[in-house]
Amino acid sequence: MKTTKTRWISSCLLILVFVLSACQQAAAEPTAVPDTDTPAPTATDTATPTNTPRPSPTPRPTQTPNLAATQKYEDFNAEAQQYFDLGYLPSADGKFAEYDDFFYEWAQLGWYKPFFLREDVKNFYLSAHFAWESAYRNADDSGCGFAFAINDGGHYSVFLDRTKIVFLDADASYGSYALPVSRTRGSGRIKFDMPAEADFTLIVNDAYAYVLVDGETVGEYTLSQSRNMRGVVALTVLSGTNKDYGTRCEMTNVHMWIPN
C-alpha cells in the first residue's frame, strides 16, 4: 500500500506528498512546491487559514452577445448532455462558470498548491485543456490537476501524469498522510511524450468520480460515502523534480458545470 504524507501551511495551502511502498510497485512521488514568483493572473491565488479555506472565485461572465460565445455555450451544453447520457451526471440541467487561462511552474519535488475557483460545491464537472512538461525527462509523477472537496475534513486531488492518473485522498483523519484512491473501473493509464497536452475532465457525482482524457473515460473512482463532499474546488500543479523550472503547467478553456 502506498501512503502520501501531507502538510498544510497557513500562508498558502501546500501539500507535501511522500509515497511509501509496501505490497505494490513503487510509484513516483507527487509533488508541490511553494513558489516565490507571482503566477499569471488566472485563477485566484489567495492566502487562506489552514482549517477553513475561503477561495475567491473569478468566473468570467457567461452572457456574451457574440456568435462565437453562443457557439461555445452550445458546446458546453452538449458536453453536459453527453455526460448525463453516460450516467455520470444526475441531470444535464445546470449552469456554467468559465475561468481565465492558468499558468504556473513548480520546482520542488513532492509539493502541489491549490488555486481556488469556487466555494460550496458538491456535484460538478471541471474541464480544461492541459499542456505540461518537466525540466527533467524522467521526472516523478507530475502534471496539471484539480483538487476538490476542500474543507475541514480534508480534500481530494487528481493529476494527469505522463503515464497515469494520480488520484489522492487527503482525509483529515489520516493525520499527515494522503492515500491513493483505488479505481472502481478503468485502467487509469495513459501515455504521453513530453511536452504533452490533452483535454482533461473530472466529474464528481455524490460518491463517484470519473476522469476523462481527450474525451475517453480512463478511470472511475469510488469516494468516501461518510465524508462531507461539499467544499472548495481548485486548479493545481504537481511537480516531479527540483531541477530548473520543475514542472510547467498551462490550462486553457477552463470551465465548470454546476447542477441547478
- pLDDT of the residue at 16: 42
CA distance 158 to 238: 10
Task: Report if residue 113 sits inside a domain.
Answer: yes
**Res 129: pLDDT:** 98
The total number of structural domains in the chain stands at 1
d(C-alpha 142, C-alpha 133), whole Å? 8
Tell me which residue of 113, 146, 112, 114 sits closest to 128, measured CA to CA: 146
Give residue 74's domain range.
Answer: 3-49+60-259
Q: In 77-100, which positions are buried (b, 16+ CB within 10 angstroms) versus exposed (e)?
A: eebbeebeeeebbeebebebbbbb
Radius of gyration of the chain (CA): 17
- First and final C-alpha spacing in the chain: 39
Q: Per the domain annotation, does 54 fall within a domain?
A: no
Q: For position 92, which CATH number holds?
A: 2.60.120.560
- Domain membership of residue 107 (yes or no) is yes
Amino acid 65: pLDDT: 56
The verdict on residue 102 lying in a domain is yes
SS3 assignment, position 73: helix
The predicted structure's pLDDT at residue 114: 86
**Domain membership flag for residue 253:** yes
| Integer Cα distance of 60 and 74 in angstroms | 17
Residue 215 covered by a domain: yes
Is 55 within the bounds of a domain? no
Regions of the chain with pLDDT less than 70:
1-66, 176-177
Q: Is residue 126 part of a domain?
A: yes
C-alpha cell at 43: 485563477
